[in-house]
Structure 1
């Protein structure tokens, strides 16, 4: 369908056109991105090398950190580089690839968060059957389904994007390619496309959020019957997950469950869940998790010992 379009590239306005503010954007988000890579790389390395972190919860955390890294990487490098350019452009094909990768890893993160909630529900509400229900094979199948489901979702986004004809303005008032800003440029009635977008992305975000909040409400209610020590540990883990869920789903629901209209705060809200959440996740899961912190200390101690032997 691209052959029917007059537009071969788009101009990204980014967060600002002011040269001084562009330098601030470059510095700030370069630090954010490097922090995201460092934090998630530490979690991925720690889980992969530590035998103490072999439970399903950390298996899902590994995939969450992986999706966070990829999710941020499909947006941040271009955004940082564009801050140094006077006119930032992106080709039609690159735009479509960014739409696919952005939705793929964003959807994957949603599914992984759902799986983590399921894991906590079984661990707290069905402790005697936990090892049977959440076996390594079951966890592997669930994660595989999450990857396939994310691919189906992002493929639907690509289908919607390619169905839009672009014949006029090619200026995107955003720092990334997404269906919402692309709908503003399409030279056709986008009512049906926007309806499909809301029923796809909007429904995934909203339904998943409601399911997560409901499941954590059940989990917190069931903690009444646990011992003080068990209650404290489970409560700490659940609160960490709830914080992540609210920080990620709040902006997503705001963006994808309304008509294709642009508000001044849209770009800043998008920054929060595309770059902010992947940076915050490692902090929440390490600072509030004693097992991860202990495993990181052991990994660091082993590295120091190996360096001393050399």
Structure 2
């Protein structure tokens, strides 16, 4: 097991390295001058050249990457070009905290709601109850997160007045109020994902219920609840984990438009603004953050595979 985990961690590190190389060199060949963007078009050539030297932009691209990567592994991504005096790490951590909170709340909603409904739909498959649930899941799957955010804003913000749209309060001022506000963008992110997860769980559990070992267990007089919990769910989770891992990675990486809809100062708005201002140090760090979330989630899913089914690690080593 340990050898399997070490192998997966090695793949994770190598993947992040490749992504960092691709990201850095991609931004190096994009047209535009970060120094000129910072100083403005009225800056003198001498001042532009001086700032390029300060930022290290006059060096070879390979040298710049080594310098950047050696600091990045320590958590130092340099300084923002549009927010003078502020490090990229501090800016990113401040914005990422909101995005991660929304992601965490979304995942909690996803797990609490999707599993019971998915199992319930599988238990009553090919019945009017199952048909009704499938119709409901297809409806929610067809609604984009940003439009779901608009609907929730109208219903809970304008009609029911449970929160004031666009008036996000900092946790430092009102912690409970900030968390309560973030529940609604979390719902906007989670609900379409819940619908997809319910359908996936329903199909996976239904497929397992048709296998011979289930019929054998029933013929031996085993309780339906025991069959479901100790046999069906364990085997169904192998395929379900893949999908849930992708969903969790997507949720934690952030939802740009949903944050814009609710006026939350998270990664989404910050990243869009950094791209428009050609603040490449911020954009590079944000890309690495998103990539790290996705790769770590996939690695954890692979490790969970081995925990659930030991045959997987034996075949992979």
TM-score by length of 1: 0.30
TM-score by length of 2: 0.29
